[in-house]
Structure formats: C-alpha cells, structure tokens
C-alpha cells in the first residue's frame, strides 16, 4: 500500500475492524484511544457522538505527531451512542445496568448515533453523524434474563449488540444497519473516497 493510502483506525472495536475488512479495507495500524466518554451536562446524544469521535481522532494525531512513518496517513475514528429520546444509555458493565437498559428498550423505539471523524493526510477534519431508529419487541422477563446470562451485553452501549442474539429483538430498523453495529459503512466509504482514498485498492480480483 502506498504511503498516502495508509489508514489508521483510532478504535479498539473488533466490530469496526470487521466492518472495514468487509468493505475491503485493512487499516495499517490500530490505535485504541482511551478518552473520558462521560457526557457533559444536558449534552444531546448526537452531539456526544460527534464530540467523542473528534476527540479520539485528535488523541491519535497527538500520539503520532513525532512519528514520521505515519505523517501522511488518514486517521479514522468513531463513537456510537444509544439513546431513548435525550436519555443516553452508556456502556453497561454490571448486570443491574443491563437489566435497567433492556427494560427501558423493551417495546419501544430508540436512536443509535455514530459519529465518524476522518482526518486527511493534509490535516483536514471531515465529520459526520449517522442516526438509525431501532424498535425492540416487548421483551419478557425470561428473555431479558437469558440474554443477560449470555454476556453479550457487557461493554455495549444500550446493553446489546445487534449482530448477536439481540438482533432477534429488533422489530423494526430505519436507517443504516452497519451504523448500529458501530460503523456506518456507506458514509465512511463516501468520506474516504471523497478525500482521495482509493477504497477499491484492496478489493479481491475475481
């Protein structure tokens, strides 16, 4: 891959890496950024997704500043936020948090926002927030208990991963499915292509 084609993914999410690989893009470097993801007071979930994706990109740039090997790279970051109205459902680590989130999502719609930030080799920031409306079926207590026992909620915003068992909870989805997984592929590919990245360079030849 040519120097100007190097892409750094400022994320440690295996789901985002899998989605990029699915689209034929293999990042040259993975840089998980450990930043404070606490929402600000009265911060809208859409604004939070945009801010955190930008802060992750800025942190990656700062870490790479003195490394000439990565000076002409593209940097891509993303952050996904799940919300019911303006109520942000943060990543769940404990079973009581998962119970509360799943009971809240049961039988109602919610929004998934993913902020994406692309920094070009020339230092230009390109940002976008993609939103998807998701509606869960009404979950029984048994379904919630069994899902919690699976462990698939752990570390997930809104206590679920749509690409796992929780996909069977989705009654309706309006918008991008890959956005709910964690990286809206259509928008990411459009941003990359628009900034001169050859998105088809890594595609297989039949």
Please give the structure tokens belonging to residue 112.
């998934």
Q: Which letter does DSSP use for residue 166 in this model?
A: G
Separation between Cα atoms, residue 35 and residue 121, nearest integer Å: 23
Contacts of 25 (CB under 8 A, 6+ apart): 7, 192, 199, 202
Could you tell me which of 73, 197, 50 has the C-alpha nearest to residue 127? 50
Please give the structure tokens belonging to residue 163.
């690409």
Our answer to whether residue 36 is catalytic in this structure is no
Three-state DSSP state, 136: strand
Using the structure block, give the residue that is written with the tokens 């990565």. Answer: 70
Question: Given 18, 79, 96, 198, which residue is catalytic?
Answer: 79
| Catalytic residue ranges | 79
């Amino acid at each position: 891959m040519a120097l100007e084609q190097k892409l750094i993914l400022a994320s440690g999410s295996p789901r985002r890496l899998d989605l990029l690989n699915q689209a034929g893009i293999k990042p040259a470097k993975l840089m998980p950024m450990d930043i404070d993801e606490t929402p600000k007071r009265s911060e809208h979930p859409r604004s939070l997704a945009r801010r955190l994706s930008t802060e992750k990109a800025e942190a990656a740039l700062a870490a790479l500043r003195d490394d000439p090997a990565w000076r002409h790279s593209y940097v891509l970051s993303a952050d996904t936020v799940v919300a019911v109205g303006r109520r942000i459902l943060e990543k769940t680590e404990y079973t009581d948090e998962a119970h509360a989130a799943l009971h809240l999502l049961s039988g109602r719609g919610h929004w998934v926002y993913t902020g994406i930030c692309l920094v070009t080799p020339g230092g230009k920031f390109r940002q976008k927030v993609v939103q998807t409306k998701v509606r869960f079926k009404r979950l029984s207590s048994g379904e919630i208990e069994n899902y919690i026992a699976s462990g698939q909620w752990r570390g997930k915003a809104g206590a679920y991963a749509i690409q796992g068992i929780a996909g069977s909870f989705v009654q309706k989805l309006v918008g991008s499915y890959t956005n709910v997984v964690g990286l809206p592929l259509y928008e990411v590919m459009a941003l990359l292509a628009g900034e001169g990245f050859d998105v088809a360079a890594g595609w297989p030849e039949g």
